[in-house]
Every structure is written in C-alpha cells, then in structure tokens.
Amino acid sequence: MDEIIDPIAAEKFRSYPDPIKSKLLFLRQLILEVASEFEDSFEVEETLKWGEPGYVSKTGSTIRIGWKVKDPEYYAMYFNCRTVLVETFKEMFREQFHFEGNRAIVFNVNDEVPVIELKRCISLSLNYHRVKHLPMLGV
C-alpha cells in the first residue's frame, strides 16, 4: 500500500511543504512496514482523521501523523489520548522521544528519528486491542 489511495489523504500530503511532506511520508512508511511485518499481516486503512492522515487496523488504535503551521519546526505522531499508549511509550523511551501530554510523540524537523523504538510504538498501537489488558501492554 505504498500508493495513497484515499484522495482526501493524498491531497493532505500534497498540501504540506516539501521538507515536512518527506518527514510525514517517512512516518507513513514506517506504519505500513510495521503492519506488514505481523505474522497475520492485516489491513491498515489510510484515511483522514481530525484533518490529518490517519491509520487504523481492526486490532488497534488509530495513529495520526501531522504538522501544524503554527509550529513549523515540529511534526508529530498522534495516538488516542484515552489509551495508555503514550504513558507506556514514556516508560519505555523517555530518553529517545519528546512527548506532548498523553497523545503524541513530537519530532523536531532536525531530529533523527529513532526508527527501532518508533516501530515498537507503532506495533503496540496497531495491536492495542490485543494487548490493552496486559500490564505495560505486554512489553
């Protein structure tokens, strides 16, 4: 699913400035890679959620990626704030990431993304309904 099929999501990506677009497309690719790595590889639906590209699996919690004009030096990966996902990520990766409350991992445009750690966060989110009953989501 490398091609953006949802025309509204595709238009949203086109609306981003080129340097930001490449950062967000990189996050998108990580989400799709993680989804394809599961034994029971499942579909991830790409859509627009709250005005930003969103990724949903049947077993998981929605992941969104976005950038705001008012904070041009930053972009983020958002998670459902009503879950324990970001709290768990903070416990696991406090030194590797910057967080926004209980809803996002925030990146400076000059940051190098810690790929292995971020893929672990994505994996937990895409499988959230399978692991939410486990202490620390089973990690």
Q: What is the mean pLDDT of residues 112-117?
A: 97
Residues 83/61, Cβ–Cβ less than 8 Å: yes
Residue 24 CB burial class (10 angstroms; 0-12, 13-18, ≥19): buried
The CATH number corresponding to 7-130 among 3.90.1150.200, 3.30.420.40, 3.40.50.300, 2.40.50.140 equals 3.90.1150.200
- Contacts (Cβ under 8 Å, ≥6 apart) of 134: none
Q: Where are the beta strands (DSSP E) in 15-136?
A: 45-49, 52-56, 63-67, 74-79, 98-100, 104-108
- Confidence at residue 107, expressed as pLDDT on a 0 to 100 scale: 98
- Confidence at residue 106, expressed as pLDDT on a 0 to 100 scale: 98
- Confidence at residue 41, expressed as pLDDT on a 0 to 100 scale: 61
Summarised one tens digit per residue, pLDDT across range 56-94 is 988 899 999 999 999 999 999 999 999 999 999 999 999
- Confidence at residue 58, expressed as pLDDT on a 0 to 100 scale: 87
- Confidence at residue 131, expressed as pLDDT on a 0 to 100 scale: 81
Residues 66/24, Cβ–Cβ less than 8 Å: yes
Summarised one tens digit per residue, pLDDT across range 122-137 is 999 999 988 888 788 8
Summarised one tens digit per residue, pLDDT across range 8-58 is 999 999 999 999 999 999 999 999 999 988 766 668 899 999 899 999 988
Residue 25 φ/ψ region, left for φ over 0, alpha for ψ in the -120 to 50 degree band, beta for the rest: alpha
